[in-house]
Amino acid sequence: MPVTRAQSAIEMLVRERARANPDAAWLAFKDETYTWAEVLRYANRAANGWLELGVRPTDRVAMLLDNCPEFIWSYLGLLFVGAGPVPVNTAQRGVTLHHILADSGARAAIVSDSLRSSFAEARAGCPDLAHTVVVGGAAGSGFDWDADRLLSGADTDPVIDVDSAPAAAAMLYTSGTTGPPKGVVTSTYDASPIGILLGASGVRPGETMYTPLPLFHGNALYVSMIGSIVLDARFALAERFSASRFFDDCRRYDAVEFNALGGMISILLKQPERSDDADNPVRTVLSAGCPPDRWVEFEQRFGLRLVEWFGMVDAPGILLNSDGRVGSMGKPIAGVEFAVVDDDDEPVPTGQIGQLVFRHPQGQLTHYHGLPDATDAAYRGGWFHTGDLASQDEDGFYYYRGRKKESIRRLGENISAWEIETVVNSHPAVQESAAHAVPSELGEDEVKLVVVPKPGAHVSPEDLTQFCEGKVARYAVPRYVEILGELPKTGTQRVQYGELKERGVTPATWDRLAAGDADGSASGSTTTSGSTTKEHHA
């Protein structure tokens, strides 16, 4: 018999926005604009479509979709049903994609047409995955419905014939840098940290928030899309990040705010300067990982204000820097405690580097799906261990110092990749860089540096290693250097260190030891496979 559904907070907000301002625009995508009345209509249609297809409350549904309105309608429809969306990184393939589909226990999936072949390969051996929808293509060849069929249902409030309709927890997967991706499940949601973060954006009702970041990522999904609903703001969505179109899009949609990940800042600054760079409507950028040496330049060139912050999908804890302290992630908000600890979980002195940990006043609010041991390890001692290295100054501001897993062990010393990159990125000819470990012939690691020069700039490996002398410890000066036109990055513009490590030392890699620096490795190694090219061009 039909029951009264327990509506999620987001569903209630969407329905309230549609009731109060049905003709007000919310979503802008390309040349299309959707009012709140249309948003509610599409969300209801998707909800009824999911029910007709066979999705039920608490079912999980994998979403392997590019940025498009269908992502939003499908996502909201699942919330209306009480099912759990599982947004999936569209770059995933093969065994990793199979792992996510199988591990999540997804009962259904909705997939972009461009990804149907990789999805078909990965779904083999996933008996729970019973229902499939394709977006941008025709049904058949393993897909039950197309998007038009999903959205052809009634646009009335869905009726659910179950004894109870609890909302399934949404699940986002980690990037899996050291093993298979882990599904993060939020058992109790505390919106107060996100509320404070959104308040710092200064966005007012009716103003526009813009993002080109992928909706499968928590930044775009929670802060931009859901954040715009919470603020009663408009939401402008791009298909993907384009540096050449970025600020023209901001002008086109009259966007007063966007979110940035660190790599975006450098890429946007790489664009040729224009006389109207500062002539744009953006007031605030919520930035995660802005390179300190690019901070002021970015603000001045584009006439805006950076608000730096730190947050994780894995657990609710946010640092916020709304004071403009260059290079800092900020201070804790919403009663969440942060600390910097050593490998024994003992606090380190002010100014020293250690692992960043935090604990929420309500206790543990998340867990890794099906991984109790990994959950216990992450939350040991009641503190969530981020895996990030950080330091704290005397005023209580925290500073990012790299990933603990990206540290390099050389001559018995731990070296932070961030430490080297920060120095190298200050070189006037360098656009961006990445430092990582490569195997040493005698055990432990050697340091390899990969550099992307600024457009038109020339830089030699010798110049880069000499530039590091005296600015980092002697043992941290890179032995290997390679010049590339670009760094491999994820869809969220994060450097893919795993790909760089797999690339290793190539024939195009310069070796300081082979080039005649007797102390190049400082480890006594005598063999090399590197190149001794004197100058490289981007």
pLDDT one-digit tens code per residue, 95-134: 888 999 999 999 999 999 999 999 999 999 898 999 999 9
At 267-316, the pLDDT tens digits run: 899 899 999 999 999 999 999 989 888 899 999 999 999 999 999 989 98
Choose among 56, 146, 32: nearest CA to 108: 56
Does the pLDDT at position 530 exceed 50? no
CATH 3.30.300.30 fits 409-537, yes or no: yes
Distance CA 164, CA 318 (A): 34
Choose among 21, 38, 85: nearest CA to 58: 85
User: Residues near 130 by Cβ (< 8 Å), separated by ≥ 6?
Assistant: 54, 107, 108
Does residue 424 contact residue 450 with C-beta atoms inside 8 Å? Answer: no
Beta bridge partners of 536: 459
Beta-carbon-side half-sphere exposure of residue 210 (alpha carbons within 13 Å)? 27
Same fold yes or no, 9-20+41-168 and 409-537? no
Alpha helix ranges (H) inside 389-435 = 417-424
At 43-88, the pLDDT tens digits run: 999 999 999 999 999 899 999 999 999 999 999 999 999 999 999 9
Domain-wise residue ranges, the chain: 9-20+41-168, 192-404, 409-537
Greatest alpha-carbon pair distance for the chain in Å reads 82
Cβ-in-10-Å burial (0-12, 13-18, 19+) of 190 comes to middle
Higher pLDDT residue, 191 or 293? 293
Residue with tokens 């060139």: 301
Cα 477 from chain centre: 30
Higher pLDDT residue, 166 or 121? 121
Does residue 454 contact residue 433 with C-beta atoms inside 8 Å? Answer: no
User: Residues near 88 by Cβ (< 8 Å), separated by ≥ 6?
Assistant: 62, 63, 64, 97, 100, 101, 173, 216
CATH number for the domain running over 9-20+41-168:
3.40.50.980
High-pLDDT (> 70) share of the chain, %: 90
Distance CA 244, CA 417 (A): 29
Strand extents, DSSP E, 54-206:
60-64, 84-87, 108-112, 131-135, 145-146, 171-173, 183-186
Rg of the Cα atoms in the chain: 24
Mean pLDDT, the chain, rounded, equals 89
Taking each continuous run of H as one helix and of E as one strand, the counts in the chain are 16, 29
Q: What's residue 176's pLDDT?
A: 60
Which of the 8 DSSP states describes residue 401? E
CATH pick for 192-404 out of 3.40.50.12780, 3.40.50.920, 3.40.640.10, 2.60.40.1180: 3.40.50.12780
Distance CA 212, CA 204 (A): 20
- Per DSSP, the three-state class of 431 is strand
Does residue 387 contact residue 416 with C-beta atoms inside 8 Å? Answer: no
At 339-373, the pLDDT tens digits run: 999 999 999 999 999 999 999 999 998 999 999 99
Residue with tokens 């790909």: 499
At 458-510, the pLDDT tens digits run: 999 999 999 999 888 788 899 999 999 999 987 667 788 888 988 999 999 99
